[in-house]
Structure 1
Amino acid sequence: MYIKKLMEIITVENPKMPYEMKEMALEAIVQLWRIPSFVTELYINYDCDYYCSNLFEELTKLLSKLLITGTEQFNQKPKKGIQFLQEKGLLTIPMDNTEVAQWLRENPRLDKKMIGEFVSDRKNIDLLESFV
């Protein structure tokens, strides 16, 4: 199945697997995830079936693992965390201030001090406006 193969490409630790291929596979999953009925259909047609694997659960775990990694990086160095999430296709490139502000507001694992430092940087005035 296509989704299983994409997940395998992302999670495999093979030095012969090019980084670009992993990034493209992750982008494909993120694009599928943005389809309004995709998540519901995936859950109903696969996770609820005794004879199918739990694709929704596996995809959710994969994406949450990436978000947690990005959050941890943000808590150490905010720019690095944002860059990581952009590289993984979870935040848009170039940075969309509204999207980043929403992520900063809704992510309970983010260090409030680091949010304040990042948002108050003079380079991020537009982000500060979106955040407020």
Structure 2
Amino acid sequence: SESELLACIHQIKLYFYYILADEFASVGIPTPAKLDARCVHLSFDEMRRDGFADDGLFDQMKVFFLPLTMIEHDLTINDVQWRNLSRDRLREREQLLEKQQRLVDELTEKEDEYYRHDDSIRKLRK
């Protein structure tokens, strides 16, 4: 199958990296991932095509294999990315605080209205 061929090619890549690790490291070539993400996706697609019952479990299983398809470079975050994340979180926080304030103001108005109506009802009952 196609996924098996890709897996074999990836094994060859891993073997060469293992044998020539020092040379690859000296020129800055990163360690390859343990699994090729295409192999993971293709293998589950092939299992579906071959008639294996999915029941939604295949997609959950893909998530299990995800860490094996990543390399150290995928996990690094540079300063620009940190600033962007920080800016986005700050903007989101400000929006949430504004929404909270609007909701508190709306609640206060509703409470005031409730008590005005309650007072009116009490006066009418007397």
Q: TM-score, normalised by structure 2?
A: 0.30
Greater length-normalized contact order (CA 8 Å, ≥ 6 residues apart): 2
